[in-house]
Amino acid sequence: MTTKDQFRPEDHPNDNFLLTTVVGSYPKPKWLNRAKELYQDPDHEFDAEDWQEAKDDAARLITDEHERAGLDVVVDGEMRRNEMVEFFAHRIEGYEFNGPVKVWGHNYFDKPSVVREVEYDENWLVDEYEFTAAASDRPVKVPITGPYTLANWSFNEAYEDDEELAYDLADLVNEEIEKLVDAGARYIQIDEPALATTPDDHAIVGECLERIVDGISASDASGGSSDESDGVPEEVRIGLHVCYGDYSRIYPEILEFPVDEFDLELANGDYEQLDVFKDPEFTKDLALGVCDAHVAEVESVEQIEENIKKGLEVVPPEQLVVSPDCGVKLLPREVAYGKMANMVEAARNVEEDLDAGEIDVERGAPTPADD
């Protein structure tokens, strides 16, 4: 059994199974943003308890929305997180904030600084995972920003170089994942969007991932370890999400990374980079982006079916997962939901066609480059 099979619903209607999920982030309800404004207003009586209740309610709402869309594996849409680096920097000793910096257009990013050696201080995501798992009958995925991106997207004022910082952060991610696995998490996704924009550092990311999975074991009911061997227990699925950039500069080297799945943004580029992954053979599971997270229009079921079939040019159905290209938090909420619902419907349709033998896709035949 692959780590993917454990997420197949017992009453799944088709012989083939294309696991459907999301990358992570999702539009926040407008009232949650208003609740945050009230909480941050020193003249308002909306207190920490009220703010916590609002985040809990939003997490339940979005988890339920994922269920209604039919996703096999759900996320709470990262309702408790503000930004993918800032959220974690607030929970790591050694970071501090000195005000937002302008990143593009009129957008600002509260870019943190590492001012001393980083240390693990408090749980990052265990409470979030346990809450979402209790709110849903479906499996839950836990996205976590990777150490290379945490280092690359911060000001480094304490370490000799970002590589040294990334390795120390990887040790902290390892500590957090150990706690998540002990809490019951079985699907963890490392987000490293910085990788494809700095492809020459793929060896650093590989070393970070080795540190992340080193010695991870699941505790049994008596508190002992259920897996005495080194490495991640077989039932724990580790994914790596990479977006943007030129994948040809990190492939096939990334196949050596100790992960089960690569989650890749390809719909936005109209699958122009798909051939990159055809030769040599893609030996991991492929979580294919089949909806464009940058376009505020819902792709039709038929269009998404064609996108899913692109993935079958790279891997067989048992290695294919489908998701949007990236987090969808910048889309209108009704658009985000429409994309998910159509994505699930398209996946089930493709499964039916696979069962019926109506899909014949030849793999491993890269298209020759134009002269």
Per-residue pLDDT of the chain (371 residues; tens, 9 = 90+): 578 999 999 999 999 999 999 999 999 999 999 999 999 999 999 999 999 999 999 999 999 999 999 999 999 999 999 889 999 999 999 999 988 887 766 677 889 999 999 999 889 999 999 999 999 999 999 999 999 999 999 999 999 999 999 999 999 999 999 999 999 999 999 999 988 778 888 999 999 999 999 988 765 444 444 444 456 888 999 999 999 889 999 999 999 999 999 999 999 999 999 999 999 999 999 999 999 999 999 999 999 999 999 999 999 999 999 999 999 999 999 999 999 999 999 999 999 999 999 997 666 544 444 43
3-state helix, strand, coil in the chain (%, to 5): 40, 15, 45
From residue 267, alpha-carbon distances to 91, 243, 291, 317 in Å are 34, 11, 6, 18
Q: Which CATH number fits domain 5-27+68-82+124-356: 3.20.20.210, 3.30.1330.60, 1.10.150.110, 3.40.50.300?
A: 3.20.20.210
- What gap in Å lies between CA 111 and CA 91, rounded to an integer? 14
Cβ-contact 165, 156 below 8 angstroms = yes
Amino acid 3: pLDDT: 87
Amino acid 219: pLDDT: 58
- What gap in Å lies between CA 92 and CA 163, rounded to an integer? 18
On the CB side of 143, how many CA atoms lie within 13 Å of its CA? 29
- What gap in Å lies between CA 188 and CA 216, rounded to an integer? 12
Amino acid 371: pLDDT: 39
- What gap in Å lies between CA 259 and CA 242, rounded to an integer? 13
**Could you give phi then psi for residue 88, rounded to 5 degrees?**
-75, -35
Residue 81, burial from CB neighbour count under 10 angstroms (0-12, 13-18, 19+): buried
Nearest to 143 by CA among 92, 183, 185: 185
Count of residues in the chain: 371
Taken in order 216, 165, 190, 364, is the CA torsion positive or negative?
Answer: negative
Share of the chain above pLDDT 70, in %: 92
- What gap in Å lies between CA 255 and CA 232, rounded to an integer? 17
Helical residues (DSSP H) of the chain, grouped into ranges: 30-40, 48-69, 86-89, 126-135, 147-152, 162-183, 202-213, 301-311, 333-355
Name the one residue in this structure whose structure tokens are 């134009």.
370
* Residue 50 CA, distance from chain mean position: 29
- What gap in Å lies between CA 82 and CA 40, rounded to an integer? 14
Cβ-contact 212, 192 below 8 angstroms = no
**How do beta strands 107-109 and 101-104 pair?**
antiparallel
- What gap in Å lies between CA 190 and CA 259, rounded to an integer? 9
Joined together, the tokens standing for residue 155 give 């000001």
